[in-house]
DNA sequence: GTCTATACAACGATAGAC
DNA sequence: GTCTATCGTTGTATAGAC
């Protein structure tokens, strides 16, 4: 019998490091990155992305100038342009890579078999814990999506719908099995997402109140359990 | 016996018009507004605020230039500066006024007596319906708060906590009366807020699915009722 | 009260030295 | 690979004509 998933256990198992993400970015964007040495490129990409998320989440991506980014990252303006072709590409690369990581972690760690409530619990905890590990990216993705043009905007919306569908499918399965009573599986999935997003959108509030992520996960799960009792 | 509150009935009763709000803004900011004729001032303030919310919600307040605003509002750059002393003041005035309207509507329309679940329903519906009437402002307030400096930021946080407390007090009262079973009144209030905010933050999604605001209100209320059943 | 014209700082982006 | 210097553009803000 497997131990229940906690945040501490999730961190040990998953380990999405900034280095790994930047290695992928480097290999997928060799054409637009002028730097050839992988070690140098990855080191600086890590610095650039961390600085971008920090500045951007504090005052908005549009308000962050490349001079700000240059100062924060310690790289000159000229050096920055060796890593991306312009501010817009920087935005797109961050979004794209975050989406890819989110997708692959959810695919790999959300249980596909077993009792239906356990699967729902696994989906809720994985989503919540992942948003904690990649907090800066999740916040960034939520806040900066509307700056996109049509095509990119559509992909971001699809990201929202993907995770929602993940919950919805499990809920519908549970409904069929008689484990859940649901007024609407889709609306239930929708508000579950809203509750999970609140955790990373209002971190200041939960931190202020000393509410741990596991407490929050337990609370949300109990709430769902009671609300869907047959 | 009073009829249950619906969105249609709320709109008839409340009627927060942009003109009324701008009249208040004009009278409270006479010092920094150079225009003397009230009729002219109000007409242009309405135009300016509508244009600001439109542009700002599409691409962010920081990304909206005053040249954009000039074009959208039909007023020249020079004329704009007769109504506010700078871009930052424009941001503050919009926030401040929206907060005042929200506060006064909630104070006036949320039931303070009667059965405790009816009071909760009244708070949920009033908050949700108000966010629909003032949708552009609510979205703006949520997305643009972090551009504030310390003092202003604090006031915005207090706004979040005020509405949360509104729910929390009712929940605690219900808990005392044995009407609600609650694991935590504060956490419950917190996720209720998250669910209500999702409505105006993801309007595109609910519109796409033809989910009406009354359907959403009913769903959230039923969910709360089941989740808090003693 | 509103306009046009303009000041000047800051922006994204690039060229060329090292 | 990274830097400094500089380009043209766009930003906020104001002065003065009407």
Q: Name the pLDDT band for B70 (thresholds 50, 70, 90).
A: very high
pLDDT in tens, B112-157: 999 999 999 999 999 999 999 999 999 999 999 988 888 889 999 9
The domain in which residue B64 lies consists of: 7-228
pLDDT at A3 over 80: no
Give the pLDDT score at A89: 95
Of B115, B109, B135, B124, the C-alpha closest to B223 is B124
Give the pLDDT score at B72: 98
Percentage of chain A exceeding pLDDT 90: 93
Report the number of distinct structural domains present in chain B: 1
Give the pLDDT score at A27: 95
B2 within some domain: no
Q: Taking CA B107 as the corner, what is the angle to CA B179 and CA B171, rounded to the nearest 5 degrees?
A: 20
Residue A67 CB in 7 A reach of strand C: yes
Is the model's pTM score more than 0.85? Answer: yes
- Distant-in-sequence contacts of B43-46, Cβ < 8 A, 24+ apart: B44/B73, B44/B75, B44/B79, B44/B83, B45/B83, B46/B18, B46/B19, B46/B22
Inform me whether the C-beta atom of residue A9 falls under 8 Å from chain B C-beta atoms.
Answer: no
B72 within some domain: yes
pLDDT in tens, A171-191: 999 999 999 999 999 999 999
**Structure token digits, residue A161:** 């719908």
Residue A81 CB in 7 A reach of strand C: yes
Could you give the CA distance from residue A187 to residue B205 in angstroms, rounded to a whole number? 11
Q: Name the pLDDT band for B60 (thresholds 50, 70, 90).
A: very high
Give the pLDDT score at B195: 98
Min distance B148 CA to chain A CA atoms (Å): 8
pLDDT at B1 over 70: no
B100 within some domain: yes
Query: Which residues touch B94 (CB under 8 Å, ≥6 apart)?
Result: B49, B52, B53, B137, B140
> Is there a contact between B14 and B105 (Cβ–Cβ < 8 Å)?
yes
pLDDT in tens, B27-36: 999 988 999 9
Inform me whether the C-beta atom of residue B160 falls under 8 Å from chain A C-beta atoms.
Answer: yes
Give the pLDDT score at A16: 87
The total number of residues shown for chain A amounts to 230
DSSP letter at B209? T
pLDDT at A148 over 90: no
Q: Give the least confident one: A140-149, B75-84, B170-179.
A: A140-149
pLDDT in tens, B41-52: 999 999 999 999
A181 within some domain: yes
B62 within some domain: yes
A 180-219 residues, CB < 7 A, strand C: none
Give the pLDDT score at A1: 57
Q: Name the pLDDT band for B4 (thresholds 50, 70, 90).
A: confident
pLDDT in tens, A30-65: 988 999 999 999 999 999 999 999 999 999 999 999
Min distance A39 CA to chain B CA atoms (Å): 35
Domain CATH number, residue B162: 1.10.357.10
pLDDT at B2 over 70: no
> Is there a contact between B41 and B35 (Cβ–Cβ < 8 Å)?
yes
Region A135-156: mean pLDDT is 92
Give the pLDDT score at B3: 75
Average pLDDT, chain A: 95
Q: Name the pLDDT band for A147 (thresholds 50, 70, 90).
A: confident
Percentage of chain B exceeding pLDDT 70: 99
B51 within some domain: yes
Q: Report CA B26 to chain centroid distance, whole Å.
A: 20
B 206-225 residues, CB < 7 A, strand C: none
Q: Which nucleotide is nearest to B82 (CA to C1')?
A: C1
Give the pLDDT score at A2: 66
A62:B62 CB<8 A? yes
A48 within some domain: yes
Please count the residue pairs, one from chain A and one from chain B, whose beta carbons lie less than 8 angstroms apart.
Answer: 87
Q: Taking CA B114 as the corner, what is the angle to CA B110 and CA B115, rounded to the nearest 5 degrees?
A: 105
Min distance A88 CA to chain B CA atoms (Å): 13
Region A53-81: mean pLDDT is 97
Q: Name the pLDDT band for A90 (thresholds 50, 70, 90).
A: very high
């Amino acid at each position: 019998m497997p131990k229940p998933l906690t945040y501490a256990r999730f961190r040990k198992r998953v380990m999405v490091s900034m280095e790994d993400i930047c290695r992928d970015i480097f290999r997928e964007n060799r054409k637009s990155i002028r730097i050839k040495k992988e070690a140098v490129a990855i080191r600086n990409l890590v610095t650039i992305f961390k600085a971008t998320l920090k500045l951007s989440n504090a005052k908005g991506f549009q308000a962050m100038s490349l001079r700000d980014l240059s100062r924060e990252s310690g790289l000159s303006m000229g050096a920055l342009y060796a890593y991306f072709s312009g501010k817009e590409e920087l935005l797109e690369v961050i979004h794209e890579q975050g989406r890819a990581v989110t997708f692959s972690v959810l695919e790999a760690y959300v249980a596909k078999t077993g009792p239906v409530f356990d699967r729902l619990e696994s989906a809720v905890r994985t989503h919540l814990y992942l948003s904690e590990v990649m907090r800066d990216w999740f916040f960034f993705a939520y806040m900066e999506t509307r700056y996109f043009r049509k095509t990119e905007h559509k992909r971001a919306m699809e990201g929202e719908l993907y995770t929602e569908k993940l919950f919805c499918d499990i809920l519908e399965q549970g409904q069929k099995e008689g484990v859940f009573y649901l007024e609407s599986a889709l609306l239930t999935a929708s508000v579950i997402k809203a509750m999970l997003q609140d955790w990373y959108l209002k971190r200041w509030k939960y931190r202020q109140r000393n509410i741990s992520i596991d407490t929050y996960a337990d609370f949300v799960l109990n709430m769902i359990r009671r609300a869907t009792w047959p």
